[in-house]
Amino acid sequence: MPLTSFAARAGSAVKAFAEASSDLLMQPTLRLGVTGLARSGKTVFTTALIHHLTETHALPAFAPAHEGRLRRARLVPQPDDDVPRFPFEEHFETLTGARRWPRSTDRISQFRLAIEYERANSWRSGPGTLMLDVVDYPGEWLLDLALIEQSYTGWSRATIAGTRRAGRAAIAAPWLDLLKGLDPAAPLDEVLAERASTAFKAYLAGLRAGPEAVATTPPGRFLMPGDLEGSPALTFAPLDNLPETLDPGTLGGLMERRFEAYKAKVVEPFFRDHFQRVDRQIVLVDVLAAVDAGPTALAELEEALDSVLLSLNIGRNSLLSRWFAPRADRVLFAATKADHLHQTSHDRLDALLRLLVSRAMRRTEAAGARVGTVALASVRATRETTIHEDGESFRAVAGTPEAGEIVGDEVFDGQSEAAVFPGELPARPETVLEGGVAPGSLRFPRFRPPLVRPDALGRPGHLPQIRLDRAMQFLLADRLT
């Protein structure tokens, strides 16, 4: 049964009604979804968001803070007791104490902030409190939303066709060799199904093995199964030469049943219980990794973002929709790691992101939602500088490369600083999609987080950021007036 049916949405409608009633009658609440593909910086964004709100740092582009109306924000118990708490304290210590980037998101998590502020409305003054619920979840799960309306046959054909994309032949070879010997009409065989699934999972792991890989092929839970590891719902794979109908007693029938079980037991509950309930959405995108990987990776990223946005419940909220079927009325696309470029290329990074999501943006705006883009660094790891070489000056960035990173002929130990000229993005974003930037021609070494020391009173130091405050303004400010 497709999720678009009334029955499948009933559970989320009940939750939405309860939450909306609470907002209207008791406590205003805003639910923010933090999403994005792997390595896009979701954990860092969420950690930095909590840090700046709870420490009330100067945030020039975030009006409630800039105007002095942000009184305080504090972490309070979250509303969903069956969802793990976002480990802010652990991630903040990793960033500032160990100067390492936090581990990637491998499960769904949540936190609630009680934000106390002074109202700015002329018709309503005095103190107010907004409960901000943020849901953070793995990027791999995001791509599974595209499976909801797909059939097993359609998914198999699309996935096998995807192996023909540039750079995938060698990775896919072991799985495709096994696939040649599998007959969908053969009798049901559990051992053979497990062998096929294991080979397919190795292919998926290979797609995202490289540090700059842009892997967008679902199912996402195959790479982070959690408590579902070894279950039949995670033991299937695409098959070739599928007939129009599959006999339940065949290998193809077994794979089809498990594919449908994966959607029913894994994807649909996630969509219904979490993804569909958000009021605001930020989609983090590592555009620079795709640029470094080449036009094919950029095209794949564009396709993935488009399919994800098709799954979002987006639009302008009426009173009835707010109660029974809430929509995300604002969506922000954020190109992360802007600190790897000189500020003169930040607008170009934003323009490239806007080009990648242009189709999705038009649909979002047509549905009545507000949509925006920004190039940001949730935690800024570099500072800007100038390199002088052979009588020429180059706009560069300087920071501490991670141990093992190579800049020129030098291998870094994780302690020494380096000034790097990363190159420049073209003024015309279409040039990148047309192959005008050679893969690997832009240098993006991985930098360690910045050195942050406590102030004289022992309070946590200020994590530097680039345009995080603009993202906060777009996503939160109107609800703090």
Whether residues 298 and 364 fall in one domain: yes
Measured torsion, CA atoms of residues 217, 219, 222, 228, in degrees rounded to the nearest 10? 170
| Final residue before a domain boundary, out of 224, 246, 269 | 269
Q: Is 307 contained in some domain? A: yes
Q: Are residues 283 and 265 in the same domain?
A: no
Q: Do 443 and 288 form a contact (C-beta atoms < 8 A)?
A: no
pLDDT at 365 over 60: yes
Which single residue is written with the structure tokens 């070494």? 445
For residues 31 and 74, give the distance between their C-alpha atoms in angstroms, rounded to a whole number. Answer: 16
Q: Is 399 part of a structural domain of the chain?
A: no
What was the pLDDT predicted at 316? 61
In a domain, 395, yes or no: no
> What domain range includes position 218?
144-269
Beta bridge partners of 334: 284, 374
Taking the C-alpha atoms of residue 237 and residue 193, their distance in angstroms, rounded to an integer, is 8
Residues 345 and 472 in one domain: yes
Where is average pLDDT lowest: 58-67, 106-115, 160-169? 160-169
Q: Is residue 75 part of a domain?
A: yes
Q: Residues 286, 376: one domain? A: yes
Asked, for residue 393, whether it belongs to a domain, the answer is no
The whole-number pLDDT of residue 10 equals 47
**Same domain membership, residue 369 and residue 260:** no
The DSSP line for 192-239 is: HHHHHHHHHHHHHHHHT-STT----PSPGGGTS-GGGTT-GGG-----
pLDDT at 212: 52
pLDDT at 400 over 80: yes
> Is residue 239 domain-shared with residue 325, that is, in the same domain?
no
State whether 207 and 337 are in the same domain. no
- Going from the C-alpha of 76 to that of each of 87, 114, 132, 475, 477, the distances in angstroms are 13, 7, 10, 20, 20
Structure-block tokens of residue 242: 């599928």
Residue 119 CA: distances (Å) to CA of 25, 29, 113, 154, 315: 18, 15, 18, 52, 26
Residue 319 inside a domain? The answer is yes
The helix (run of H) or strand (run of E) holding residue 476 is helix 468-476
> What tens digit of pLDDT does each residue of 88-122 get?
999 999 999 999 999 887 788 999 999 999 998 76
Same domain, yes or no: 32 and 119: yes
* Least confident among 62-66, 150-154, 168-172: 168-172
Chain-wide mean pLDDT for the chain? 87
DSSP label of 84:
P
Q: What angle do CA 110, 17, 21 make, to 5 degrees?
A: 90
Same domain, 227 and 133: no
The total number of structural domains in the chain stands at 2
**Greater confidence, 363 or 60?**
60
Q: What is the pLDDT of residues 256-296, one digit of tens each?
A: 999 999 999 999 988 888 777 889 999 999 999 889 888 88
User: Which domain-ending residue is among 235, 269, 303?
Assistant: 269
Whether the Cβ atoms of residue 162 and residue 300 lie closer than 8 Å to each other = no
Together in a domain, 244 and 282: no
Of 259, 231, 232, which is closest to residue 153 (Cα–Cα)? 259
Cβ 246 vs Cβ 253: under 8 Å: yes
**What's the pTM?**
0.87
The string of pLDDT tens digits covering residues 328-346 is: 899 899 999 999 999 999 9
Boundary residue ending a domain (269, 285, 302):
269
User: Do 157 and 124 lie in a common domain?
Assistant: no
> From CA 451, how far away is CA 442, in angstroms rounded?
26
Amino acid 283 reads V
Same domain, 297 and 159: no
Inside any domain, residue 72: yes
In a domain, 223, yes or no: yes
Question: How far is the C-alpha of 239 from the C-alpha of 216, rounded, in Å?
Answer: 19
CATH number of 51's domain:
3.40.50.300
Q: What is the H or E stretch that residue 169 is in?
A: helix 169-180
